[in-house]
Chains A and B, each alone.
Chain A
Amino acid sequence: MHNKFYLMKIILSLMKGFAVLGVLHFQCRASRLPFDASNLAMTYTALTSLLILGDDLSRVDKSAIINAMKYLQKDDGSFTQTYQGMESDMRFVYCACAISYMLNDFSGINIDKVVQYIKESQSYDYGIGQGPGLESHGGSTFCAIASLYLLNKLDEGLLSKDKTIFWLISRQESGFQGRANKPPDTCYSFWIGASLMILDSFEFIDYDQNYNFLMTTRSFGGFSKWPGSYPDVMHTYMGVAGLSLMEESKKLDPALNISLKARKNLLKCVFKSE
């Protein structure tokens, strides 16, 4: 109990930094905080962590975050991670959409441009890449589909729901691979699985093969990327999340990637409080 509140405090103090520094330009000024630039991905993680811990997000400076987000969207609709950041791709599009959804305020993003970016990132095989012209990839496909879902633009953003579903289920080969002809990897049981779940098509996968593969990647109490490797925190989470989609564990919200319990917290505390 004590630890939980301590954690919340830490996260909130870091978030304050994001809100305040979000709009500062990128010179290396003297700063009292350990990390300079506020970061979209970290903001997403911070907010979901707070929800998991049961916080009601009332101490978060929502308007500052949403306003700062406006500076991160590029002309082509994608988002950078930090102000004047060097990389912009589907990962941060997802972060922006998820943050906006959790704070119930979409004024920080130009929705039409986001939908356009996602449309242009769909490939001839109807999978979705990190950006226009790039190879279809399980991670970016999840980011795109979840973003469209959170923006309620699934029907407009996907060129062909049916063909995208087929691309997704074609990624199963025992476990799931991230791209064609690559070996299956634990984390794609979530990225691909959650995408299918958002498209109401999770039932079309082979549960047994998925489950058996995940069991072979168990390692020292966690999960690793492949059978016989060392585990890491990310793949351990993804392994559990992948099992959760098959209801082997606590249930999961596929679009926000948090448990249903945390999602209930969001609905109760954040959406009702506005």
Chain B
Amino acid sequence: MHGRKRVKPTAEVEKLRKEKEASKIKEYNGIVAACLEKKNKCEFDNEAFILTTKILSQNPDFYTIWNFRRSILLNEISEDCSEEEKQQKFSSELLFLQEVFRHNPKSYWIFNHRQWCLDTMPNPDWKSELDLVSKMLDMDARNFHGWNYRRYVISKLSCIDSNALNLSKTEFDFTTAKINQNFSNYSAWHQRSKLLPKLVEDEQLGDQGKKPLIDQEIRHISILGAYYDSQNYQIILAFDDEIGMLTPFQVAYKNDTSQLNIVEGHWRSVSGSSDVDRMHGFVWIFTLNIESSFNELFVTVKPEWIVPSNSEVKLVSNIQMHCQLPEQNKDTLILMPPQTVAENTTILSTASRFREDILPMTMQERINLLKREIATVKELQEIEPESKWCLQTLLILLRELKYISELNTEESKNIDEEVITICDQLINIDKIRTKRFEDLRSRAIFETATNNLIQVSPNAQQEIIFRDNRLFMSEKSQLPTFTLTNRNLTIIPTPSILLHIRILDLSYNKLTSTIFLSNLIHLQEADFRDNCISSINGVNNLRFLRVLNVQSNLIESWEAVRNGFVKWQGGECKVYVSGNSFINESDGKKLKWEKEMDKIEFCY
């Protein structure tokens, strides 16, 4: 049996115990053999019944014997048997089960047999069953067999009892009682959560009619813009939020006979490591496999290609974009205006069943609810400042409030700052999950800092504006720069927002990897001074990189630096490496690695 306390016995006690057990085992095996023999011969008599009683009292998990017992009972009541006799037989069965349960509260088969009895007997008493299950849950409040059985009994009761509302209410009060006994009884809370919607439903008799159900958890996404880069044979697609894709978008062209042919190529999101298909990203780049000579290109995006497990957003309908390609003009980006294709509209079905429990309410009602809840939890938090549950709940509520309501930048910034403060507290309180909250904190900081980096342009869906510079517009003397230093950043959550950045300063943080740079193809200068980087990664595609500063990091060998540049496709670059453990400052002022890395100048 699980979880029995260990007691250290002496040698004589041990010996006696073993002898006693040996005879017990012999006796048990004898009974089992006898019983099974009767079973094989299909002898459904009283003797067999007694044998099953003896076995099951000791070992209620031997389900074959329960089956045999049921066969015996069925056999008994099939012959001339009055209703009273049947009732009597089953009543004593139930008493027997109670006895067995006392010693074995966690046997699936006891509950099974009990249910079978109640389903088979002429007059089951569900009310007393309810009392019984309450006593069981007094003995062990977390016994989920008990809770499950309770739900079964309630469902039976509500079938025969027309007063269903009363039942939900009594159940609700029961959970209240259990929670008052023990606040951390999660099973009671869980039960309560299932009852609440029922209660509300029961009480709202013919109320305000249907309110529009809003999908609070799932936000809708739209495409900001799509461009064809004729110089690099690439299509660039930008959404207005992060999205995880299961299947690449479809790119097709019309051939001479006006048929749509699919173009082969490969997709990647401008995010994280470049070779992983299913990543989050705002911006996605499709590189065609063949050099194009098309007149028109078509791009289709379908809602079902979104990965539900990786996206909190969904597309409402198919989107198709297409553009006529002008004569080969190698330097321009061609805009592809998006259109929603009317005839092939497929709406993504509701992702989860339990969302049906959500009470129908308008957006404003939901916002008010969130604000009320946030106030309540904050009160709780004043009483229990060290409670991680309060803090985690606040995080969830605040983040939802930020996403669903249209806040001005001031309010949005306030929420971000609150989130950062809460993360700081959780980093200290929930030590096992410190890194998780460090990352969440980094995310909040990054979101605040990049709030204005991507805007929707005034002529909607015509272009993507990055900080007053159009995407890939001709270079001005002032290069787009992004700075976020001294914020204890551990990750860069959405690199794709930085696609247009030329100069990046992330010094004095806690970044451990540069892999997020993978697709920031316009980057020219990157400053990672005083971080926690141990090797250089993700620079292969950064052709325009001229300066990389990794001073005072955690790099321990030349290989860790060199390997990052082996496949680098750029022109010339200066890499600053002093302050790392592999550097011996007395090696002289300039370091040149002439043989392999003639394009790279390593400096202190």
Residues of chain B with a CB closer than 8 A to A160's CB: 308-309, 312
Asked whether A225 lies within 8 Å of B142 as measured between CB atoms, the reply is no
Asked whether B112 lies within 8 Å of A87 as measured between CB atoms, the reply is yes
Asked whether A123 lies within 8 Å of B42 as measured between CB atoms, the reply is no
Query: Looking at the complex, which one of A133, A156, A205, A206 makes contact with B308 (CB distance below 8 Å)?
Result: A156
Which of the segments B185-193, B290-298, B537-545, B559-567 contacts the partner chain? B185-193
Chain B residues 394-431 with CB under 8 Å of chain A are none
- If A86-B112, A124-B354, A180-B186 touch, does A135 touch B278 (CB 8 Å cutoff)? no
- If A30-B41, A87-B108, A132-B353 touch, does A36 touch B3 (CB 8 Å cutoff)? no
Chain A residues 157-199 with CB under 8 Å of chain B are 157-162, 166, 169-170, 172-173, 179-182
Residues of chain A with a CB closer than 8 A to B39's CB: 28
State which size class the interface on A falls in: 35 or more
Rounded to whole angstroms, the CA-CA distance of A87 and B351 in the bound complex is: 27
Query: Looking at the complex, which one of A132, A173, A205, A219 makes contact with B6 (CB distance below 8 Å)?
Result: A219
- If A181-B186, A226-B3 touch, does A159 touch B144 (CB 8 Å cutoff)? no
- If A28-B68, A87-B112, A124-B193 touch, does A179 touch B6 (CB 8 Å cutoff)? no
The minimal Cβ–Cβ distance linking A265 to chain B, given in whole angstroms, is: 30
Residue B436 at the chain A interface, CB threshold 8 Å: yes
The minimal Cβ–Cβ distance linking B130 to chain A, given in whole angstroms, is: 19
User: B112 — nearest CB in chain A belongs to which residue?
Assistant: A86
Residue A20 at the chain B interface, CB threshold 8 Å: no
Chain B residues 164-187 with CB under 8 Å of chain A are 184-187
Asked whether A159 lies within 8 Å of B308 as measured between CB atoms, the reply is yes
Query: Looking at the complex, which one of A29, A135, A173, A228 makes contact with B144 (CB distance below 8 Å)?
Result: A135
User: B439 — nearest CB in chain A belongs to which residue?
Assistant: A204
Rounded to whole angstroms, the CA-CA distance of A34 and B246 in the bound complex is: 50
The minimal Cβ–Cβ distance linking A236 to chain B, given in whole angstroms, is: 12
Query: Looking at the complex, which one of B310, B353, B436 makes contact with A169 (CB distance below 8 Å)?
Result: B436
User: B148 — nearest CB in chain A belongs to which residue?
Assistant: A134
Asked whether B147 lies within 8 Å of A232 as measured between CB atoms, the reply is no
User: A81 — nearest CB in chain B belongs to which residue?
Assistant: B63
Asked whether A155 lies within 8 Å of B194 as measured between CB atoms, the reply is no
User: A39 — nearest CB in chain B belongs to which residue?
Assistant: B63
User: A31 — nearest CB in chain B belongs to which residue?
Assistant: B40
Asked whether A209 lies within 8 Å of B432 as measured between CB atoms, the reply is yes
Chain A residues 16-39 with CB under 8 Å of chain B are 26, 28-31, 34-37
Rounded to whole angstroms, the CA-CA distance of A122 and B355 in the bound complex is: 11
Chain A residues 57-100 with CB under 8 Å of chain B are 86-87
User: B357 — nearest CB in chain A belongs to which residue?
Assistant: A124
User: B280 — nearest CB in chain A belongs to which residue?
Assistant: A162
Residue B2 at the chain A interface, CB threshold 8 Å: yes
- If A31-B40, A155-B246 touch, does A36 touch B64 (CB 8 Å cutoff)? yes
Residues of chain B with a CB closer than 8 A to A157's CB: 309
Please report the total number of B residues contacting A with Cβ < 8 Å.
45
Rounded to whole angstroms, the CA-CA distance of A221 and B160 in the bound complex is: 54
Residue A120 at the chain B interface, CB threshold 8 Å: yes
Query: Looking at the complex, which one of B41, B147, B246 makes contact with A135 (CB distance below 8 Å)?
Result: B147
Residue A13 at the chain B interface, CB threshold 8 Å: no
Residue B595 at the chain A interface, CB threshold 8 Å: no
Residue B18 at the chain A interface, CB threshold 8 Å: no
Query: Looking at the complex, which one of A31, A159, A228 makes contact with B351 (CB distance below 8 Å)?
Result: A159
Asked whether B352 lies within 8 Å of A229 as measured between CB atoms, the reply is no
Rounded to whole angstroms, the CA-CA distance of A122 and B184 in the bound complex is: 21
Residue A230 at the chain B interface, CB threshold 8 Å: yes
- If A179-B142, A229-B5 touch, does A158 touch B352 (CB 8 Å cutoff)? no
The residue in B116, B246, B309 that gathers the most chain A C-beta atoms within 10 A of its C-beta is B309
Asked whether B5 lies within 8 Å of A30 as measured between CB atoms, the reply is no
- If A35-B64, A135-B147 touch, does A155 touch B433 (CB 8 Å cutoff)? no
Asked whether A155 lies within 8 Å of B184 as measured between CB atoms, the reply is no
Residue A251 at the chain B interface, CB threshold 8 Å: no
Return the CB mask of A100-141 against B: 1 if under 8 Å, else 0: 000000000000000000011011100000001111010000
Asked whether A36 lies within 8 Å of B4 as measured between CB atoms, the reply is no
Rounded to whole angstroms, the CA-CA distance of A30 and B432 in the bound complex is: 58
Residues of chain A with a CB closer than 8 A to B58's CB: none
Rounded to whole angstroms, the CA-CA distance of A211 and B358 in the bound complex is: 41
The minimal Cβ–Cβ distance linking A130 to chain B, given in whole angstroms, is: 8
Rounded to whole angstroms, the CA-CA distance of A224 and B436 in the bound complex is: 31
Rounded to whole angstroms, the CA-CA distance of A162 and B353 in the bound complex is: 19
Rounded to whole angstroms, the CA-CA distance of A81 and B159 in the bound complex is: 28
The minimal Cβ–Cβ distance linking B157 to chain A, given in whole angstroms, is: 17
Rounded to whole angstroms, the CA-CA distance of A31 and B64 in the bound complex is: 13
Asked whether A134 lies within 8 Å of B144 as measured between CB atoms, the reply is yes
Asked whether A230 lies within 8 Å of B312 as measured between CB atoms, the reply is no
Asked whether B71 lies within 8 Å of A28 as measured between CB atoms, the reply is yes
Residues of chain A with a CB closer than 8 A to B153's CB: none
Rounded to whole angstroms, the CA-CA distance of A156 and B433 in the bound complex is: 27
Residues of chain A with a CB closer than 8 A to B112's CB: 86-87
Query: Looking at the complex, which one of B184, B353, B435 makes contact with A119 (CB distance below 8 Å)?
Result: B353
Query: Looking at the complex, which one of B6, B71, B147, B310 makes contact with A230 (CB distance below 8 Å)?
Result: B6
Residue A258 at the chain B interface, CB threshold 8 Å: no
The minimal Cβ–Cβ distance linking B10 to chain A, given in whole angstroms, is: 16
Residue B469 at the chain A interface, CB threshold 8 Å: no
Residue B255 at the chain A interface, CB threshold 8 Å: no
Residues of chain A with a CB closer than 8 A to B310's CB: 155, 161-162
What are 30 A-B residue pairs whose CB atoms fall within 8 Å in the complex? A28-B39, A28-B67, A30-B40, A30-B42, A119-B351, A123-B354, A132-B353, A134-B148, A135-B147, A135-B190, A137-B144, A154-B309, A155-B278, A155-B307, A155-B308, A156-B308, A161-B309, A166-B436, A169-B436, A172-B432, A172-B433, A179-B186, A182-B142, A204-B436, A205-B432, A224-B6, A229-B4, A229-B6, A230-B4, A235-B2
10 shortest interchain CB distances as A-B pairs = A158-B309, A161-B309, A181-B184, A86-B112, A120-B353, A180-B186, A135-B190, A155-B307, A206-B432, A28-B71
Contacts beyond the supplied A154-B309, A232-B2: 18 A-B pairs with Cβ under 8 Å: A28-B39, A30-B42, A36-B67, A86-B115, A119-B351, A120-B353, A124-B193, A134-B144, A135-B144, A135-B147, A159-B309, A160-B309, A166-B436, A179-B187, A181-B185, A204-B433, A229-B2, A229-B4
